[in-house]
Amino acid sequence: MKKNDIQNIKRALNKNDWRALKEILKNYTVPDIADLMKTLDEKELLIVLRLLPKNVQSDVFAELDVKLQEFILNNIDEKHIVEIINYLKSDDKTELFELLSPTLTHRLLNILHPAQRKEILKLLGYPENSVGRLMSTEYVALKPYWTIKKAIQHIRKWGKDAETIDMVYVVDDNWKLLDDIPIRRILLADENLTVRDIMDHHYISIGVEEDQENAIKLFRKYNLIALPVTDKKNYFLGIVTVDDILDVLQEENTEDFAKASAVEVDTKDLNFITNLKEIPVSKIFRSRITWLLALLFMDLITGGIIQGFEATIAKYVVLVTFLPVLVDTAGNAGSQSSTLVIRALALGTVQKKDWIYLLWKELVVATLLGLVMGLGISVMGLVRGKSFLIAEVVVIAMIVNVIIGSIIGILLPFIFAKFKRDPATASTPLITTLSDIIGTAIFLGVAYMILG
């Protein structure tokens, strides 16, 4: 921008000649206008910004350094702020909200439309399924030095727009979280006391990037109705409420139900389960065919094992009649143990490091189960097999199969968790198929060793 042009702009500003100023600005590019604004004083900068078309305002705003951006946002009205942010490109929005101070970020999130706020929260880089994607910025916050009387006035003014006022939050002037206070404690306090006087400094919070499942565990453990969300420096960013958690729980349960049934469902498309009538046949087919094909090829292994023992089976045909009950019992035992572990992992009552302890515990339980099931099938072995050797084969195979099936069921969820996969992926069909393969091999192997 030429020196005489800057002088003309300054002259128009001094004369309040807005029409002339708008005509001059039309001749310059966005970077030129941004450079000009860096040379103006605070009052002139705001005037020039307002004279620009709305889309140009946002483009020029994006060219400014963060200090000027913060000055502008702190000195224009909320409607104007929303317009500027609305016209910003996605990458400019991301850069803006990454650089702004926590206090200003909080203020902007509060005044933006919910849809725009949701978009910005995603742009901030919060991981999928993180608390940051779930939190709301519609809450009531108090300062510790306010009197109870002033706090109640503030709650009355802003509480109608809050997602919940059962809990209100205390923050310092830099917007760091200090405490959460039940509303009843404020309503019952002497109005001449300060908020600080009724604080106990005991509160539960969660990091903005933590997994939503961790939030679920905190809600369950502490019987919360709302959970404050902070960043790594304890700046208060928002809250997660119990109704949000119920929605997440429904999604998690739906997802786990699908995986337990070996149905492949995208986590973003869980309405597949809940709106089955409206889902196209092609999508239902795709969701089921992958696992069915995988299990089919695994089942072919079972056929290969049976073929390898053709001579033994031909000599003792009665063995075939025991095969279904043996492998099914092993699969059922494995499904029982995996269900218990998957649920315990989901609730947080069992950690990945507990696998050795649970493995030994399951060995004891599985051995007892195997002995009882072996005793139960021994009679059928004698009656149907008409031989103590056949009964011996069936009893030993039953005991070993129940133990092996239970071990598979207990270990698979931990293996999936180790590789950062959902333990629910260790589904009943997968455990049953593995138990079929191993159970068949054990049964026919035992028969071969005892019967020849």
354-387 confidence digits (pLDDT tens): 889 999 999 999 999 999 998 888 888 888 877 8
Contacts of the segment 225-232: beta carbons below 8 A, 24+ positions apart: 225/164, 225/166, 225/167, 226/139, 226/163, 226/164, 226/166, 226/167, 226/180, 228/169, 228/177, 228/180, 228/203, 228/204, 229/131, 229/132, 229/135, 229/205, 230/177, 230/205, 230/206, 231/102, 231/207, 232/207
Q: What is the pLDDT of residue 25?
A: 83
Q: Which of 97-106, 157-166, 181-190, 242-251 has the highest mean pLDDT?
A: 181-190
Q: What average pLDDT score do residues 53-77 get?
A: 87
Note the pTM of the prediction, 2 decimals.
Answer: 0.52
* Residues 58, 49: Cα–Cα separation, whole Å: 9
Burial 9-45 (b: 16+ CB within 10 A, else e): beebbeeeeeeebeebbeebebeebbbbbeebeeebb
More confident residue, 329 or 298: 329
* Residues 168, 370: Cα–Cα separation, whole Å: 56
Given the DSSP bridges, would you call strands 206-207 and 177-182 parallel, antiparallel or unpaired? unpaired
Amino acid at 141: A
Q: What is the pLDDT of residue 371?
A: 93
Tokens 């300060």, residue located: 194
Among 162, 97, 108, smallest CA distance to 136 is for 162
Asked if pLDDT for residue 143 goes beyond 60, the answer is yes
* Residues 401, 405: Cα–Cα separation, whole Å: 6
* Residues 390, 373: Cα–Cα separation, whole Å: 16
Q: What is the pLDDT of residue 268?
A: 45
Q: What is the pLDDT of residue 313?
A: 82
Among 51, 313, 144, smallest CA distance to 154 is for 144
More confident residue, 79 or 203: 203
Q: What is the pLDDT of residue 224?
A: 92
Query: Please, what is the average pLDDT of the chain?
Result: 83
Reported as a single tens digit per residue, the pLDDT across 421-434 is 777 665 667 788 88
Q: What is the pLDDT of residue 277?
A: 63
Asked if pLDDT for residue 142 goes beyond 80, the answer is yes
Q: What average pLDDT score do residues 142-155 get?
A: 95
| Percent of the chain's residues with pLDDT above 90 | 22
Among 393, 408, 323, 326, smallest CA distance to 363 is for 408
Q: What is the pLDDT of residue 151?
A: 96
Q: Would you state the structure tokens that stand for residue 256, as one six-digit string?
A: 């786990």
| Percent of the chain's residues with pLDDT above 70 | 89
* Residues 274, 263: Cα–Cα separation, whole Å: 13
Reported as a single tens digit per residue, the pLDDT across 231-267 is 989 999 889 888 888 877 776 666 665 555 555 555 4
Asked if pLDDT for residue 126 goes beyond 60, the answer is yes
Q: Are 441 and 383 in contact (CB under 8 A)?
A: no
